[in-house]
Amino acid sequence: MRTQVVIVGSGPAGLLLGQLLGNAGIQSIIVERASRDYVLNRVRAGVLEEGTMALMRQSGAGGRMDAEGLLHNGFSLAFNGRSQRIDLAGLTGGKHVMVYGQTELTKDLMEKREADGLQSIFNAEAVELHDFDSDHPHVTYQKDGSGHRIDCDFIVGCDGGHGVSRASVPENAITTYERIYPFGWLGILADVPPASDELIYANHTRGFALCSMRSHTRSRYYVQCGLDEKAEAWTDDRFWDELRRRLPQEVADAVVTGPSFEKSIAPLRSFVAEPLRFGRLFLAGDSGHIVPPTGAKGLNLAASDVHYMFAGLSEHYLEKSSAGLDAYSTRALTRVWKAVRFSWSMTMLLHRFPEHGDFDRKIQEAELDYLSDSVAASTVMAENYVGLPL
């Protein structure tokens, strides 16, 4: 087989890039090691920046998002028994975010790709990337007991932190930066109405908590927990009790409890690889960087990478210019590091760290008070939360 672009990974980044390329008449094949059902059933975040929403609309797969997504004009910070609302729309000139589950976004993009007759290969085993430091890269894989090869012009790795793309880069060609946080998030999904119409991020002496949602009838809640915790050790009753302890009383009283249908613990990590280009191989999304979920930047950073990647490939094929591809890594990483900084700052502000003493806790309280009192400080937070310009 031959195509212009091989995309490794059928998550949101790979699907979004593939759809934008297909709309522009640029050929692509997506190679995915997992099954279609596995990809669709992965539970992930769901707060979209304005830039991500715009890319979904540009792809032609944004119809259901616009019909069913929940627009949010603000969120709240809870601390010392009270809540402070960050007015996103008022502080940013009318900008907002949208709550729309990543699973739903993936489904929309996958259905659009199939409807357009664009090729995806699932259950591809032993995927290997070859000769991306030359003018003739290719990808090989095994499927149904046979070996296959795809020749291409470029390879874009959208296969996450444990995928083959970044692992294929020579060790001396890449620099990585990492921060491992000493806790995780225990999260549940339950078919109960949310405690609030907007997200609530809570700083409490017992640890961080987050009240979120997927719809008007489905809620997503989190509590900070130790890395040695096991999700199965948390009964639903234990989780609901702990969540309510960490919330202001009026919010705790609004929490509707019910049986969970998904429960898991996610460790928190900041990670960036530099550069994001290696000859004719490019990294995008989690294959190049990972942020803690505080601030909801992971999916949105993947979308911004796709924005720069699509611009570069479009210039190459439609304008015969290499400028966009040459600038991809620098452009993407400039925005990545700003988002990494924001996610790190939100994580430091809202969580309780084992090594923190009274001084550190007082600094957190002072920062939260400052955000409450300062329009300038609240504006900085709002601008970062809705997403910096692409």
Task: Say if strands 119-121 and 28-31 run parallel, antiparallel, or are unpaired.
Answer: parallel
Catalytic, out of 141, 221, 328, 385: 385
Torsion angle, alpha carbons of 108, 23, 25, 152, to 10? -40
297 belongs to the catalytic site: yes
201 belongs to the catalytic site: yes
Catalytic, out of 181, 289, 293, 307: 293
Question: At 100, is the secondary structure helix, strand, or coil?
Answer: coil
Bridge partner residues of 29 (DSSP): 6, 119
Catalytic, out of 12, 72, 317, 351: 72
Q: Please answer whether residues 303 and 51 qualify as being in contact, where contact means their C-beta atoms are separated by less than 8 angstroms.
A: yes
Distance CA 380, CA 19 (A): 33
Q: What's the burial of 29, exposed, middle or buried (CB within 10 Å: 0-12/13-18/19+)? A: buried
Question: At 41, is the secondary structure helix, strand, or coil?
Answer: helix
The whole-angstrom distance between residue 239's C-alpha and the CA centroid of its chain comes to 25
Q: Cα-flanking dihedrals φ and ψ of residue 131, to 5°?
A: 55, 35
The alpha helices in 183-322, defined as continuous H runs, are 236-245, 249-254, 298-318
328 belongs to the catalytic site: no
The alpha helices in the chain, defined as continuous H runs, are 12-23, 36-41, 50-59, 63-68, 88-91, 102-115, 164-167, 236-245, 249-254, 298-318, 323-350, 358-373, 375-386
Catalytic, out of 100, 201, 221, 328: 201
Distance CA 232, CA 379 (A): 40
Nearest to 98 by CA among 44, 46, 45, 43: 46
Specify the length of the chain in residues. Answer: 390
Catalytic, out of 112, 138, 204, 297: 297
Q: Please answer whether residues 32 and 181 qualify as being in contact, where contact means their C-beta atoms are separated by less than 8 angstroms.
A: no
The dihedral sign for the CA sequence 159, 261, 344, 46? positive
Residues belonging to the active site: 72, 201, 293, 297, 385
